[in-house]
């Protein structure tokens, strides 16, 4: 065996994954994360660190340019895969790893690369007044649709002076046509949508899905705040709930995570006064659920998620029917599901105001603490476009 083949086998033994989720692809993304953790395959933070590009979810033309740009930025050896359904994930990962270890395929990929790929157009700086009245350079920067620990598909357009956000505007995600815009494309809200359509759904089933969704959001926030170990614990609990683990198996771990996060003084200091949202302001903006009840900043919303999870874990065995007319039955992970638009629309509408004036790192934490569901945003865009 030549040296190239040996090196490729070593690279394929434990490849680093760059996971890109398309609108409607949440269940596939969850399957990829679970499979990667079982295989001990790390998730890459940037294209430069990745060996496998994983596109999770249905095909969507609006995300294709960003996917191709990230693929172009990945160094060799590299391979890519597209899993459209959770059941395809394991086999797709195996096939992609085989391509990563193939000398012939890697040589062909290297030969097909442009010798000098054209660089993206860089945004030009302009000048404008800052908060102190000084004229400083301003840079127009998009955030999304694919960033680590970011609501996949969400696009914000920022105007930065230094690392301070001067302006912010919501630019995406694009509407999702066809079945992905329906209940099947809104994974986290699915039990409430089914109940509203007249299907039998138990309180325990909805509580399990809501707790898993809020642990998924919490994991992103903890990862951004520099607690990867606690983020992994949250994801493991999320996966256990989705795998129908009984209450006695998850309740102690949820309590332990609650204690660990709430006693972490650094998070409290890091987020003090960041993204403050009162209950009155939230309700005036049409926001409900944990973001409205938290009545405070990023840390308060984090703590509210943990308390919601603890309450829902105690309901896992509830067999009564989910009734959209009662408080438990009408509140999904992001808020009330009975309005004309999904609750994530109101959450996303808060971002421009809450991000303005914050540093970029703080802006990322604010987005994570609200965590609007891009599947809901894309579906809402499709409904508005249809009307």
Same domain, 283 and 192: yes
Domain, as residue range, for 60: 3-112
Global pTM value: 0.91
Q: What is the pLDDT of residue 326?
A: 76
Same domain, 189 and 41: no
Q: What is the pLDDT of residues 37-59, one digit of tens each?
A: 999 999 998 999 999 999 999 98
Q: What is the pLDDT of residue 179?
A: 47
Q: Which residue has the tokens 């809402």?
A: 380
* pLDDT at 134 exceeding the cut of 70: no
Rounded CA separation 324/195 (Å): 7
* pLDDT at 240 exceeding the cut of 60: yes
Same domain, 106 and 185: no
Q: What is the pLDDT of residue 174?
A: 52
Same domain, 323 and 232: yes
Q: What is the pLDDT of residue 178?
A: 47
Task: Of 237, 192, 191, 189, give the one whose Cα is nearest residue 216.
Answer: 237
Q: What is the pLDDT of residue 285?
A: 95
Structure-model confidence comparison of residues 385 and 166, the more confident one: 166
Examine the fold and report which residue of 60, 78, 112 is the final residue of a domain before the chain moves on: 112
Residue 154 within any structural domain of the chain:
no
Same domain, 65 and 214: no
CB burial of residue 376 (10 Å; 0-12, 13-18, 19+) = buried
Examine the fold and report which residue of 64, 94, 112 is the final residue of a domain before the chain moves on: 112
Q: Rg for the chain (alpha carbons), in Å?
A: 22
Q: What is the pLDDT of residue 82?
A: 96
Same domain, 77 and 206: no
Q: What is the pLDDT of residue 385?
A: 41
Structure-model confidence comparison of residues 5 and 131, the more confident one: 5
Same domain, 105 and 188: no
Residue 152 within any structural domain of the chain:
no
Residue 164 within any structural domain of the chain:
no
Structure tokens given for 222: 């903890």
What's the 3-state SS for 211-227? Answer: HHHHHHHHHHHHHHCCC
Longest dimension (CA), the chain: 68
DSSP output for 140-183: EEEE-SS-TTS-TT-EEEEEEETTEEEEEEEEEPPPPPGGGGSG
Q: What is the pLDDT of residue 204?
A: 95
Same domain, 108 and 215: no
Average pLDDT over residues 216-242: 96
Indicate the pLDDT class of residue 79, thresholds 50, 70 and 90. Answer: very high
Residue 69 within any structural domain of the chain:
yes
Examine the fold and report which residue of 57, 89, 112 is the final residue of a domain before the chain moves on: 112
CATH code for the domain in which residue 34 is found: 3.40.50
Q: Which of 108-117, 176-185, 212-221 has the lowest mean pLDDT?
A: 176-185
Structure tokens given for 77: 């050896």
Q: What is the pLDDT of residue 358?
A: 95
Indicate the pLDDT class of residue 317, thresholds 50, 70 and 90. Answer: very high
- Please give the mean pLDDT across all residues of the chain: 88
Q: What is the pLDDT of residues 246-260, one digit of tens each?
A: 999 999 999 999 999
Same domain, 69 and 206: no
Q: What is the pLDDT of residue 387?
A: 42
Same domain, 183 and 329: yes
Q: Which residue has the tokens 């066809």?
A: 178
Same domain, 14 and 101: yes
Total number of domains constituting the chain: 2
Residue 197 within any structural domain of the chain:
yes
Q: What is the pLDDT of residues 145-201, one digit of tens each?
A: 999 999 988 899 999 998 899 999 988 665 554 444 444 579 999 999 999 889 999
CATH code for the domain in which residue 225 is found: 1.10.645.10
Same domain, 345 and 265: yes
Structure-model confidence comparison of residues 266 and 382, the more confident one: 266
């Amino acid at each position: 065996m030549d040296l190239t083949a040996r090196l490729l086998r070593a690279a394929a033994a434990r490849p680093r994954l760059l996971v890109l989720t398309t609108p409607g692809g949440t269940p596939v993304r969850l399957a990829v994360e679970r499979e990667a953790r079982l295989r001990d395959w790390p998730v890459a933070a940037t294209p430069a660190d990745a060996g496998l590009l994983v596109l999770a979810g249905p095909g969507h033309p609006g995300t294709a340019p960003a996917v191709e740009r990230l693929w172009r930025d990945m160094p060799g050896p590299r391979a890519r895969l597209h899993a459209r359904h959770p059941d395809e994930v394991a086999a797709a990962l195996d096939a992609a790893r085989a391509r990563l270890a193939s000398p012939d395929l890697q040589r062909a990929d290297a030969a097909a690369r442009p010798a000098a790929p054209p660089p993206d157009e860089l945004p030009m700086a302009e000048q404008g007044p800052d908060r102190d009245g000084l004229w400083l350079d301003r840079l127009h920067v998009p955030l999304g649709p694919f960033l680590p620990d970011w609501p996949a598909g969400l696009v914000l357009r920022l105007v930065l002076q230094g690392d301070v956000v001067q302006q912010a505007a919501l630019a995406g995600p694009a509407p999702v046509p066809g079945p992905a815009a329906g209940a099947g494309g809104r994974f986290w809200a699915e039990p409430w949508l089914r109940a509203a359509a007249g299907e039998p759904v138990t309180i325990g089933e909805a509580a399990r899905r809501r707790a898993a969704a809020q642990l998924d959001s919490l994991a992103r926030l903890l990862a951004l705040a520099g607690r990867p170990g606690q983020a992994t614990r949250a994801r493991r609990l999320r996966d256990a709930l989705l795998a129908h683990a009984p209450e006695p198996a998850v309740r102690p771990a949820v309590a332990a995570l609650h204690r660990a996060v709430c006693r972490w003084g650094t998070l409290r200091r890091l987020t003090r006064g960041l993204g403050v949202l009162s209950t009155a302001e939230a309700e005036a903006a049409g926001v409900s659920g944990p973001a409205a009840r938290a009545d405070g900043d990023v840390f308060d919303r984090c703590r509210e998620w943990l308390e919601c999870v603890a309450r829902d874990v105690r309901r896992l065995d509830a067999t009564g029917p989910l009734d959209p007319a009662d408080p438990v039955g009408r509140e999904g992970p992001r808020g009330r599901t009975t309005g004309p638009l999904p609750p994530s629309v109101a959450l996303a509408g808060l971002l421009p105001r809450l991000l303005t004036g914050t540093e970029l790192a703080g802006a990322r934490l604010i987005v994570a603490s609200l965590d609007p569901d891009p599947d809901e945003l894309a579906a809402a865009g499709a409904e508005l476009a249809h009307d």
